[in-house]
């Protein structure tokens, strides 16, 4: 495959020297971009966009054509796995994701399979190889999956939830059933990520959006344990290069040491964590990705720039920092402000690498 022209994202993940801090934005392809909305309406709906490799490739590259970003992320969704397992994913306008079937009982879990990525999620692999080809070495491509716990919340609840009533009832009421569900999902996620790597993903991120909703012990036992199993099962070198793994648990400030012990190469931080403190605690073990509050993009470019500077100062001198938002960019963010954000990182960060 073609030579990588910009590898500062992969280098920073490995804590190797870089000329400036690399940057990408979680959910960088999405509704805040008018060109994304145009591609989605061309596809018809969100899942049709994910399932069309050429359109998925097109929207993956849209943010790179606007902003000087250092990585592309596969355009897809974490809910492709439950969809492939037969739950019937659909999106009700304005209501977020929904499933036709839920997983609530021991029998439901017993009947659940493990995904065969090549047959059930071939459209994702096709998107990965199409994007790699189209990027032609411009920047690295990130593959991703949801964590077992985060996927389980959607599958048990049947969609998004505020309190995770059913998922937590299973966790505390039938822990063995929840463990069996998470075990099966860990096997599916491992296969899914490894096949993305073989198809061309050059780094992978595990999104544990809802790990932070768990009690201390429950997080370690029901979320982190299964992410570690995945990390242990991943292909770590491919095509002559290390394939770094990034773990992102939203709300994980108190668990950073335990997360760093999984063997992941980098941790994603949300905005509630002080990045200076995170570096002191685990910066000798892993790279750190983050962590500007996405809501800062509602402020003026001057205020955005000041916040970027504050975070760069917080991390301090040297490599091992990948700039990002602390969670996905909001639907109502102004693309001009996203541009000011990315440019501030590009302009202000070289002095931290001298």
Catalog residues that contact ligand CP3 under the rule CB under 6 A.
26-31, 40, 46, 73, 75, 77-79, 96-97, 144, 160, 207, 209, 328, 331
Cα separation, 85 vs 96, in Å, equals 19
Shortest Cβ 325–ligand CP3 spacing (Å): 10
Cα separation, 228 vs 263, in Å, equals 8
Q: Are 228 and 250 contacting, i.e. CB atoms less than 8 angstroms apart? A: no
Alpha helices in 74-224 (DSSP H): 80-82, 106-111, 117-120, 122-135, 148-157, 165-173, 175-199, 216-218
Nearer to ligand CP3, 73 or 260 (CB): 73
Nearer to ligand CP3, 44 or 96 (CB): 96
Nearer to ligand CP3, 146 or 283 (CB): 146
Nearer to ligand CP3, 279 or 327 (CB): 327
Shortest Cβ 95–ligand CP3 spacing (Å): 8
Shortest Cβ 207–ligand CP3 spacing (Å): 4
Shortest Cβ 13–ligand CP3 spacing (Å): 17
DSSP structure class, residue 87: I
Cα separation, 191 vs 117, in Å, equals 7
Give helix then strand counts, H and E, for the chain: 17, 11
Shortest Cβ 338–ligand CP3 spacing (Å): 12
CA distances to 30, 60, 209, 240 from 328, rounded to whole Å, are 10, 15, 10, 31
Cα separation, 300 vs 260, in Å, equals 35
| CA dihedral (236, 240, 244, 245) positive or negative | negative
What positions carry a catalytic annotation?
A: 27, 31, 40, 77, 154
Shortest Cβ 93–ligand CP3 spacing (Å): 8
Closest residue to ligand CP3 in the complex (CB): 209
DSSP structure class, residue 274: -
Nearer to ligand CP3, 75 or 315 (CB): 75
Nearer to ligand CP3, 246 or 348 (CB): 246
Pairing of strands 96-99, 89-92: antiparallel
Cα separation, 206 vs 94, in Å, equals 26
State phi, psi for 320 to the nearest 5 degrees. 100, 5
């Amino acid at each position: 495959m073609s030579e990588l022209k910009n590898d500062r994202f992969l280098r920073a993940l490995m804590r190797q020297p870089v000329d400036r801090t690399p940057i990408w934005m979680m959910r960088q392809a999405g509704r805040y971009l008018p060109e994304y909305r145009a591609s989605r309406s061309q596809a018809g709906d969100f899942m049709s966009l994910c399932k069309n490799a050429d359109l998925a490739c097109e929207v993956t590259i849209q943010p790179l054509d606007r902003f000087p970003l250092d990585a592309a992320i596969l355009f897809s969704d974490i809910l492709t796995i439950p969809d492939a397992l037969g739950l019937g994913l659909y999106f009700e306008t304005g209501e977020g994701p929904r499933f036709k079937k839920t997983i609530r009982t021991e029998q439901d879990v017993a009947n659940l399979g493990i995904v065969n990525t090549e047959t059930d999620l071939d459209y994702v692999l096709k998107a990965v190889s199409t994007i790699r080809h189209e990027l032609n070495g411009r920047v690295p491509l990130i593959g991703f999956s949801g964590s077992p716990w985060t996927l389980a919340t959607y599958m048990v609840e049947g969609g998004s939830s505020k309190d995770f009533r059913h998922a937590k009832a299973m966790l505390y009421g039938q822990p063995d059933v929840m463990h069996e569900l998470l075990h099966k999902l860990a096997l599916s996620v491992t296969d899914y990520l490894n096949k993305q790597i073989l198809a061309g993903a050059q780094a992978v991120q595990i999104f544990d959006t809802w790990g932070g909703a768990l009690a201390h012990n429950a997080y370690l036992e029901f979320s982190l344990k299964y992410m570690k199993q995945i990390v242990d099962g991943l292909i770590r070198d491919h095509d002559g290069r290390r394939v770094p793994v990034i773990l992102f648990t939203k709300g994980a400030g108190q668990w950073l040491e335990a997360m760093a012990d999984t063997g992941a190469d980098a941790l994603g931080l949300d905005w509630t964590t002080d990045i200076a403190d995170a570096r002191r605690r685990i910066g000798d073990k892993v790279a750190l990705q983050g962590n500007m509050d996405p809501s800062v993009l509602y402020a003026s470019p001057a205020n955005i720039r000041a916040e970027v500077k504050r975070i760069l100062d917080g991390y301090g001198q040297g490599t091992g920092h990948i700039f990002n938002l602390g969670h996905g960019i909001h639907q109502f963010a102004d693309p001009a402000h996203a541009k000011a954000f990315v440019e501030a990182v590009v302009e202000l960060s070289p002095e931290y690498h001298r």
